[in-house]
A and B are shown apart, each in its own frame.
Chain A
Amino acid sequence: MMETFRAATSLVADSAIPVVLAIVFAVGAWRGVKVYDTFVEGAKEGFDTAVRIIPYLVAVLVAVGMVRSAGLLDRVSQALGPLLSWIGVPPETLPMVLVRPMSGSGADGVMVELMKVHGPDSLPATTAAVMSGASDTTFYVLAVYFGSIGIERIRHALWAGLLGDLVGMLAAAWMTHALLF
């Protein structure tokens, strides 16, 4: 059952891009769109967008990199441990909770570290894996998405994104414990 589900979903993920390309170009040609010219014209826009997000990315990645390399995250983890155990979150996963909203590769790093220290199928490592999937790099997404169109006042976007991440990660800890351990 699980195997079939896994095979089916990975087939969908593997073939989605070529199938979408084929459908879009076929329908475009059928409807009389000059597919090549239109594609190139649209692609120019993608180049502009990528260049426009560089300053925002520099700001976010520098700030996050400084915090991580200064050892600040380790200190916060030690201080908050007892509170986390009390609400049902393995304290070993705190670096994941703190890093995930800021850096996707940082979160992967935390996950790999937990798997090495506690074992790949241990409660902390599995919980961290579920947490990673249940949240996103909110700081990065906000910086890139708002940066690309020049929005400076983001109103409640950070609160909504971070609260969603926090609840997603809390639920991840509880779901992992309830369903897998």
Chain B
Amino acid sequence: MYGVSTIFWRRCTVGTSFMVVNRVFVALVLAAVATAAGSDFLPVVAGGGDGGAMKAVTQRTLEAANDAAKLALGLVGVLALWTGVMRVAEQAGLVALIARVMRPLLVRVFPDVPADHPAMGAIVMNMAANLLGLGNAATPLGLQAMKHLQTLNPHKKTASNAMVLFLALNTTHLTLIPARTIALRLENGSTNATNIVLPTLLATACGMAVAFMVTKLLEGRFKVMPDEGQPAADATVTDPKGVAP
């Protein structure tokens, strides 16, 4: 029992966590090329099949790279607007004010982040924007939060517990009004486009609760390794319960 779980956790926490993005990336690309190759080359040998998969993949690969650049550059305006507004809000003391109101709850959720830190303010603003369905506003606020969390992070290339928890809550955020989905449903002739609001809210709450619990359960298992040229990992980030100062 102990042996098996130890090996399992070693694989998951040391091997996979460092490599997972690299592996997923390579696996996706290889699987796509293999599938396309299969549906193009097998018919040549066995007869039948329509082919053209490789051509579609070639086209999509180049389009996707192009889309990525367009998407990022398309963000410049809104991103600049919000980082500008946030800078004013910060200087005016508004972010600190909101953070102070939310302090009792957030201190419990993010024990590693000081209550009056700008990261706390950015996290609250990001969550509020997500709740209102303001996706365009939420992203820059979230990036701001990550930047502030990075200043608290002793190992600059490794995610801190607070960052992972913030992202887990961010990707499962509660949405009051799924506006884009409702618009799509109306456009396609739905007679009751808004009936999805309540089930969406309840389902998101389930996802958020699970993401929170999974994060808290796993953070002690995924040890922080120091960056090259940095001193050994400190007790703060390897503390299994994440409650050390």
Contact = CB atoms under 8 A, between A and B. Distances in A.
A83 interface: no
Contacts of B218: 155-156, 159-160
Contacts of B142: 141, 145
Contacts of B219: 155-156
A142 interface: yes
Contacts, number: 362
Interface string A1-35: 01001100110110011001101110110110101
Interface string A46-66: 110111011001111111111
B53 A13 contact: no
A135 interface: yes
Interface in B35-67: 35-36, 39, 53, 56-57, 59-61, 63-65, 67
A39 B28 contact: no
Contact of B84 (A46, A53, A129): A46
B18 A153 contact: yes
B107 interface: no
Interface in B86-144: 86-89, 91-94, 132-134, 137, 139-140, 142-143
B183 to A, nearest CB: 10
A71 B39 contact: yes
B55 to A, nearest CB: 9
Q: How large is the interface on B (under 10, 10 to 19, 20 to 34, 35 or more residues)?
A: 35 or more
Interface residues of A, number: 104
A123 B119 CA distance: 42
A133 B175 contact: yes
A145 B167 contact: yes
Contact of B64 (A66, A155, A160): A66
A165 interface: yes
Given A47-B80, A148-B147, A175-B203, A168 B172 contact: yes
Contact of A62 (B17, B61, B196): B61
Contacts of A49: 79, 83, 140, 143
A155 B159 contact: yes
B244 interface: no
A66 B60 contact: yes
A12 B88 CA distance: 23
Given A50-B75, A155-B224, A164-B207, A42 B83 contact: yes
A133 B223 CA distance: 33
A149 B149 CA distance: 10
A144 interface: yes
A174 B202 CA distance: 10
A80 interface: no
B32 A67 contact: yes
A120 B189 contact: yes
Contact of B88 (A39, A108, A176): A39
B138 to A, nearest CB: 10
Given A64-B64, A165-B172, 5 more contacts: A30-B92, A68-B60, A149-B150, A154-B159, A164-B207
Interface of B: 13, 17-18, 20-21, 24-25, 28-29, 31-33, 35-36, 39, 53, 56-57, 59-61, 63-65, 67-69, 71-73, 75-76, 79-89, 91-94, 132-134, 137, 139-140, 142-143, 146-147, 149-150, 156-159, 163-165, 167-168, 170-173, 175-181, 184-185, 188-192, 194-200, 202-204, 206-208, 210-211, 214-215, 218-219, 221-222, 224-225
The 5 closest A-B pairs by CB, nearest first: A42-B87, A168-B207, A164-B211, A65-B64, A69-B60
